[in-house]
Amino acid sequence: MAQEIIGREPEIKEIEALYQTNKPVFAVVYGRRRVGKTFLIRELLGDKFAFYHTGLSPYELQGKKLKEQQLSNFYSSLIKYGSDIKRVPTDWLEAFDALISLLEKKDTKKRQVVFIDELPWMDTPRSGFITALEHFWNGWGAGKENLMLIVCGSATSWISDKLLNNKGGLFDRTTDEIKLRPFTLGECERFYQANHIVMSKFDQVQCYMATGGIPYYISMLQKGKSLAQNIDRLFFEPNAKLKLEFDRLYSSLFTNAEDCKKIVRLLAKKQQGYTRKEIQVLTNLADGGGLSTTLKTLEVSDFITSYIKYDYPKREVYYRLTDFYSKFYLSFIDGKKTTNPSFWQDNLLTPSLTAWRGFTFESLCIYHLPQIKQALGISGVQTESSPWKSRKEKDGAQIDLVIERADHICNICEMKFCEDDFSINASYDKNLRHKLSTFQEETRCKNALHLTLITTYGLKFNEYAGRIQKVITMDDLFRI
């Protein structure tokens, strides 16, 4: 390997096993843009490629003769890998026939790895791309025991609809699917160590709240600089790379990017999110299948998450924004007119940054639910997890996270981002007692309720600390 691969142990094991099998493989590797799909495949199998091609971004092409440009790019890749085709193919059937000819010419009966990256970008309107891909695999590839076809894509909804859940010629044809997710806190820590970036766990948590553990984003961090300096360099300096990322990200992934951004901007305003009906009314998007499709598209692409609040009807589905980068951008950059290149360094102690840390820490904890369960000693226990909110208009209550366990216990989780050990005073103790009594009264939950504090450092011991059954710290969230 040219570079060390951080994390991804299950995915590496699966890909290596697929390479060793003596059967045709059609593997789909997908996940959010910038999550490291291409890097993983190239580092594992780059020296074994019989053919490698990357689709052109429609965002960069700006709608000009998309099919022709994609075909011309594919032709260049064919020539690079030894094809004797004399001209640019006129359609995708001809292009894939040329690929078949190339692979047959190079066939030595050893494993042939064909890697096509950003496959969804190649499926331009009315191009016949899917039909040609079906012809390539069903008519030739599925009968080649030594063929390993790997396709990648960041447009996860396209991957889901056109490949994984295809109802046509590719129905049930993919042999394996691997979804790459962002790094966890523990994997980010390993990345920093491998790249000699020195950062406290406290700062690593804040970095995660801005970048979401996206490998491409954290690879931009410079060693020798503080976290605040790095955030200013990436987000607030003139032409900062992540200041310009938002529009590129959505436009490269979604054909209806403006509708997607409308929904994401709305969800950024409320931590627990909105129902579908609320989204339709507040964004003024047309009601119907189009809105449902857009919500599904955002969800399968890991930008939003749907959930049902504890003890709420199953039809009352809420959607919340869970992409950390989008949250950060919409909180501090979108529509903001600051020209201060040192904005983050100059505002570290302001109320707006303090509020952002508090809300975003909740999202970080929920994303690391497996680590929370491990700290509670219940990794093997079946659980259901969701927030809860009282339906009372007056004297209601809200709980960040309820973990309902099969062993008849509910962990009532409070999440607090602090710069020191958290201290419970008389007022907060009263609030906790009110939450528990209101929850029990409204839900009629018969399980034992265990108050659980999830915080950065720990809990100060005083006369109110005994109410907390379990304290989970950020050290627990870093577990692999």
Per residue in 312-329, pLDDT tens?
999 999 999 999 999 999
Answer yes or no: is 361 within a domain: no
Answer yes or no: is 367 within a domain: no
Backbone angles phi, psi at 153, to 5 degrees: -165, 140
Answer yes or no: is 365 within a domain: no
Of 114, 52, 109, nearest to 79 by C-alpha is 52
Sign, Cα dihedral of 253, 256, 262, 267: negative
Mean pLDDT of 126-150: 94
For residue 158, what pLDDT band results from cuts at 50, 70 and 90?
Answer: confident
Question: How high is the pLDDT of residue 331?
Answer: 93
Domain count, the chain: 4
Q: Are residues 323 and 392 in the same domain?
A: no
Question: How high is the pLDDT of residue 165?
Answer: 72
Q: Are residues 145 and 284 in the same domain?
A: no
Which of 25-29, 121-125, 272-276 shows the lowest per-residue confidence on average (mean pLDDT)? 121-125
Q: Which two tokens stand for residue 206?
A: 């804040």
Answer yes or no: is 46 within a domain: yes
C-alpha 104/C-alpha 98 separation (Å) is 10
Q: Are residues 237 and 292 in the same domain?
A: no
Tell which of 126, 158, 179 closes a domain. 179
Q: Are residues 139 and 199 in the same domain?
A: no
* Residues paired with 383 in a beta bridge: 405
C-alpha 58/C-alpha 161 separation (Å) is 19
What are the DSSP E strand ranges found in 334-444? 383-389, 398-405, 409-416
For residue 166, what pLDDT band results from cuts at 50, 70 and 90?
Answer: low
Question: How high is the pLDDT of residue 105?
Answer: 95
Tell which of 179, 205, 235 closes a domain. 179
Question: How high is the pLDDT of residue 71?
Answer: 96
196 and 202 Cβ atoms separated by less than 8 Å:
no
Answer yes or no: is 364 within a domain: no
30 and 152 Cβ atoms separated by less than 8 Å:
yes
Q: Regarding beta strands 112-117 and 147-153, do their DSSP bridges make them parallel or antiparallel, or are they unpaired?
A: parallel
Which of 1-10, 236-245, 270-279, 318-327 shows the lowest per-residue confidence on average (mean pLDDT)? 1-10
CA distances from 301 to 11, 157, 229 (A): 19, 6, 30
Q: Number of C-alpha atoms within 13 angstroms, CB side, residue 307?
A: 19
Answer yes or no: is 417 within a domain: yes
Q: Are residues 228 and 161 in the same domain?
A: no
Mean pLDDT of 235-259: 90
C-alpha 399/C-alpha 390 separation (Å) is 9
50 and 114 Cβ atoms separated by less than 8 Å:
yes
User: DSSP string of 418-462?
Assistant: -SS-B---HHHHHHHHHHHHHHHHHH---SEEEEEEEESS-B--S
Tell which of 146, 179, 212 closes a domain. 179
Mean pLDDT of 108-123: 94
Q: 421 vs 253, which has greater pLDDT?
A: 421
Question: How high is the pLDDT of residue 160?
Answer: 78
Here the CATH number for the domain that contains residue 398 is 3.40.1350.10
436 and 399 Cβ atoms separated by less than 8 Å:
no
Checking if the pLDDT of 64 tops 80, the result is no
Here the CATH number for the domain that contains residue 166 is 3.40.50.300
Q: Which strand (E) or helix (H) includes residue 132? A: helix 129-139
Answer yes or no: is 363 within a domain: no
For residue 1, what pLDDT band results from cuts at 50, 70 and 90?
Answer: very low
Q: Are residues 396 and 350 in the same domain?
A: no
C-alpha 450/C-alpha 467 separation (Å) is 9
C-alpha 166/C-alpha 156 separation (Å) is 13
Q: Are residues 285 and 310 in the same domain?
A: yes
Checking if the pLDDT of 375 tops 80, the result is yes
Question: How high is the pLDDT of residue 3?
Answer: 65
250 and 59 Cβ atoms separated by less than 8 Å:
no
Q: Are residues 122 and 254 in the same domain?
A: no
* Residues paired with 304 in a beta bridge: 321
Checking if the pLDDT of 216 tops 80, the result is yes
Per residue in 428-460, pLDDT tens?
999 999 999 999 999 999 999 999 999 999 999
373 and 405 Cβ atoms separated by less than 8 Å:
no
> How confident is the prediction for the chain on average, in pLDDT?
93
Here the CATH number for the domain that contains residue 287 is 1.10.10.10
Q: 289 vs 391, which has greater pLDDT?
A: 391
Q: Are residues 66 and 92 in the same domain?
A: yes
Mean pLDDT of 164-177: 72
Q: Are residues 349 and 447 in the same domain?
A: no
Mean pLDDT of 96-117: 96
Q: Are residues 29 and 161 in the same domain?
A: yes
Identify the DSSP state of 222.
Answer: P
Question: How high is the pLDDT of residue 4?
Answer: 80
Q: Are residues 18 and 145 in the same domain?
A: yes
Mean pLDDT of 261-286: 95
Answer yes or no: is 194 within a domain: yes
Host domain of residue 387: 377-477
